[in-house]
Structure 1
Amino acid sequence: MNYNETAEQSVIGSLLIEGSLIGNLTIEPKHFYSAKHKRIYEAMQKVNEKGTEINVVTVVTELGDSVSEIGGVGYLTELAESIPSTAPIKNYESSIYADYRLRESQKLTSEYMKSPSEESLHKLMVDLDKVKNEGIQTDEKTVNDYLLEIAEELMYPDESQNKGFPTGYKDLDEMTGGTQLGDLIIIAARPSVGKTAFALNIGSGHCKNGGTTHLYSLEMGPDLLLKRMISSEGRVDIQKWKSLVFSDQDYSQGITAIGTIADWKLNVYQQTNTINQIKTSIRKAVQDNPDEKHLVIIDYLQLIASSGRHERRDLEVGAMTRDLKLLAQELNIPIILLSQLSRGVEQRQDKRPMMSDLRESGNIEQDADLIGFLYRDDYYDRDSEKQNIIEIIISKQRQGPTGTVELAFLKEYGEFVSLARNYEEVAHG
């Protein structure tokens, strides 16, 4: 059993000499292994809460009749007299924490082995994650530290570490600053509007800028995703993948696109479908290559399987979006999460999506840093004047404005381009 008796005795002995040091400690009675040391530390906390000085006399008084159970007055006196200096008390505290983490980890693992299952494995991972951070302290930045970082952003904006990754669309980047580090970005639309194509375009653009894109596809196989990317990059009609009848130009452009994509830092995952598998995979990918510019795209929220049990589906979805938001913050990367919209959109005269249209919304609105809805008027009205134009409606942006950006959607290639570029291409045939 992991137990450093000297560390526990030294913390208690130091407090008997200099009781005010208890204010510098964060350990609790549960972190001690020895039952008598737990009891003594509890008594010390009570003495301190009363505003009384901690010493042998006050602790003995607080223990009362139970003092004999901890070895009597003699044991406390012995601990106090054995301390040459109280200076290392934080080192002793760290040792107690380390032993506690190991004991708890062993205990949790043993409990899991008694009845292993997918659900108990998830619980084990969650519990171990909590235990590993027990007693781990990081120094908080001062206000001056933050002000210095902000000043550097003002002076050297091009070198700022807080800059987002460009999406490749000027108007969208001007509104959002790109995909921001640490952000959970929700892109939502009705089926077949183009959310997967839009996400693939952003992922492709990120690769072209030297970034690393991770695609988690829960709906479409890697081969279909890659064919879409080849069509977009090489201007090969998507429908031709069904008939496999290609022109010489299709062949030439397709092969060139394959060569281009092969050089990208692109990863496609299909075997990960639970929230825990996705989180573990993302964390490993970032930790294995910490210096790369990681962008994660998950297609899509409603297909992710939860690893726990929840009373309602909206609570389940809310727990998953919260997990992904915390992961984005932890790894300081943008995570784009695609989402379906409910059929409620179809019941309104104006079918532009709203927050209430998010399916099984849970805490989506709360957790997301940015929520963008995709809307095509020609999706509902074939005679619409806005043919092949998609609206990106930014309905929430934690650190920026809301509004709408329009792009041209070249459906045959699954490609989004700026309206100016589209008109130019039409004019030149």
Structure 2
Amino acid sequence: MISNNANPHNVEQLRVPPHSLAAEESVLAAIMVKNENLDVVASILSENDFYSRANRTIYGAICEIMGNAQVADIATIPDYLRAKGKLEDAGGDTYIYGLARSVASAAGLTTYAQTVRQRAMLREAIAAANDIQEQCYNSTGHDAIEILGSAESRIGEVSERLLTKVQDYSIDEAMRATVTEIEQRLKSGKEIAGISTGLPDLDARLNGLEAADMIVVAARPSMGKTTLAMNMVTTEALRDGGRPIVFSMEMPKQQLMYKMLSSLGQIPISALQQPNKETGGMNDILWSKTSGVMAKLRQKNMEIIDDAYMTIPRMRLEIRRFKKRFGNPTLIMADYLQLIRGTTKTDNRTNEISEISRGIKALAKEFNCPFVVLSQLSRNVESRNNKRPVNSDLRESGQIEQDADKIIFIYRDDVYNPNSSDRGLAELNVTKCRMGQIGMVGSAFRGEFSQFCPLAHGQQIVGEEGKPKAYSDKFEVGE
């Protein structure tokens, strides 16, 4: 008997986690009687969903035996476990024989399996809650918002696993789904599957910015990473139904707004930043244009969050808040990846960047929208004669290249060679493009208006060899 004065934490430790041994045993019995029932169970349960160690061991053995195209029954299961040295873990011969002789209704198999699954998720929720409590008690050095974001993420993962079902599609079902998607794209009348970048040639190369894609825009300093990304954000903000959200860890929101106003209104950015300049400052005509652009943007569903202390869990919280206010975002942009903070304590910067990269890809999938993230490049670029970046130049982690669906490198020759024949032009090199085409797209760069725009008709980039570069005639198919 527990005293009324007992420590409540000790009482908690005595509580038995949620489980249903009856449901677990019924699932195992149904499979042992009819092996085909594993097809139903395997789409709902994994080995770790069983609370009983014996039941967990037996289920694992059944999956392994049947995976070897053998029958799993009262004779083969004990022999298999005995050979593996796991028979005792499974409760011995007697327990297995008892399961095989019990009456299991195949009609209730799905219900039994779902019961086991739900109890497993409740146990996982308890474990998550305990971890969250521990983080709260030991919060020194951690921001409260970060802890809350991590807590929401952890509980969300449990909910997602409970709601997720394994679905197997026959080739006929997969083909029908594909045909339906093609028909929907035909009806839309759009030439690209994703949303527009604002540059038609780049859209054609990428097939637009597609839902759930992680798009990396990388370059050395002063090439225009933020400008290109904000051009994409502006294009999406102006689209009917567009709902972009921007995370800026480097620039304050006012500087990003200068870029939007400048590109959209064709207003020199210097006039916005230094309106009192005697020459090139703000005048009545420019102020009228600025007011008109501001009025247009005020009507759009868009947010800019400028905070130097940003983590993936914090981003998830902000995106969910945005979603409640405006609806699911149609584009996420972060400037830039290396300024996002990791949540796992590590002295290894590469591991931290890898964690952040995986988190960005997870957010793109979770909210089913394109996530454009800017990235720094290694200084090794500067030591080469040809300073055009390649995938291996992505700074601090090969994980970025692995996680990215699309990678765009910006190169402007006049940054290095002021007298370049390609002055005012930019190369947008697409070096990775799932479901698209890798290669180079030419663009004009109008720095005074914070804008990348299409090349004029007949205009070409000369390039390092003094010959015009072809950027639209040949395409290489990406993975």
TM-score range, shorter chain: 0.7 to 0.9
Q: Among 223, 238, 245, which residue is 1:214 paired with?
A: 245
Residues 44 and 59 of structure 1 are in contact (CA less than 8 Å); yes or no, is this contact kept in structure 2?
no
- 1:300 equivalent to 2:336? Answer yes
User: 1:319–1:70: structure 2 CA closer, same or farther, 3 Å change rule?
Assistant: same
What residue identity is the alignment partner of 2:170? Answer: T
**In the alignment, what sits opposite 1:332?**
368
What residue identity is the alignment partner of 1:299? Answer: D
- Supply the distance in 1 between the matched residues of 2:55 and 2:181 (Cα, whole angstroms): 51
- 1:109 equivalent to 2:129? Answer yes
Structure 1 residue 90, shift from structure 2 partner: 1.9
- 1:323 equivalent to 2:359? Answer yes
- Supply the distance in 2 between the matched residues of 1:12 and 1:153 (Cα, whole angstroms): 40
Structure 1 residue 148, shift from structure 2 partner: 2.8
Q: How many residues align?
A: 420
**In the alignment, what sits opposite 2:229?**
199
Q: Among 11, 18, 24, which residue is 1:8 paired with?
A: 24
**In the alignment, what sits opposite 1:140?**
168
- 1:54 equivalent to 2:91? Answer no
Structure 1 residue 22, shift from structure 2 partner: 4.3
User: 1:120–1:403: structure 2 CA closer, same or farther, 3 Å change rule?
Assistant: same
What's the C-alpha RMSD, in Å, of the aligned pairs? 3.8
**In the alignment, what sits opposite 1:76?**
98
> What pairs up with 1:151-166 in 2 under 5 angstroms?
151-152=179-180, 157-159=185-187, 163-166=193-196
User: 1:16–1:348: structure 2 CA closer, same or farther, 3 Å change rule?
Assistant: closer
What residue identity is the alignment partner of 1:408? Answer: A
> What pairs up with 1:358-369 in 2 under 5 angstroms?
358-369=394-405
Further displaced range: 314-323 or 57-66: 57-66
**In the alignment, what sits opposite 1:178?**
208
Structure 1 residue 294, shift from structure 2 partner: 0.3
User: 1:415–1:70: structure 2 CA closer, same or farther, 3 Å change rule?
Assistant: same
Structure 1 residue 38, shift from structure 2 partner: 5.2
> What pairs up with 1:234-253 in 2 under 5 angstroms?
234-245=265-276, 246-253=282-289
Further displaced range: 216-225 or 118-127: 118-127
Q: Among 277, 296, 302, which residue is 1:260 paired with?
A: 296
Residues 16 and 56 of structure 1 are in contact (CA less than 8 Å); yes or no, is this contact kept in structure 2?
no
**In the alignment, what sits opposite 1:427?**
none
What residue identity is the alignment partner of 1:308? Answer: T
Residues 67 and 73 of structure 1 are in contact (CA less than 8 Å); yes or no, is this contact kept in structure 2?
no
Further displaced range: 36-45 or 218-227: 36-45
- 1:88 equivalent to 2:90? Answer no
User: 1:136–1:148: structure 2 CA closer, same or farther, 3 Å change rule?
Assistant: closer
**In the alignment, what sits opposite 2:13?**
none
Residues 381 and 388 of structure 2 are in contact (CA less than 8 Å); yes or no, is this contact kept in structure 1?
yes
Further displaced range: 102-111 or 148-157: 148-157
SS at match of 2:443: strand
Residues 43 and 59 of structure 1 are in contact (CA less than 8 Å); yes or no, is this contact kept in structure 2?
no
What residue identity is the alignment partner of 1:300? Answer: Y
Show structure 1 runs of 5+ residues with no match.
424-429
Deviations 1:286-336 (A, max 9, x none): 57766x660111111111111113453223222322232233234331111
SS at match of 2:193: coil
User: 1:89–1:352: structure 2 CA closer, same or farther, 3 Å change rule?
Assistant: same
Show structure 2 runs of 5+ residues with no match.
1-16, 277-281, 460-479
- TM-score normalised by length of structure 1: 0.83
> What pairs up with 1:365-404 in 2 under 5 angstroms?
365-404=401-440
- Supply the distance in 2 between the matched residues of 1:373 and 1:18 (Cα, whole angstroms): 57
Residues 2 and 100 of structure 1 are in contact (CA less than 8 Å); yes or no, is this contact kept in structure 2?
yes
Percent identity of equivalent pairs: 28
Residues 213 and 364 of structure 2 are in contact (CA less than 8 Å); yes or no, is this contact kept in structure 1?
yes
Residues 16 and 80 of structure 1 are in contact (CA less than 8 Å); yes or no, is this contact kept in structure 2?
no
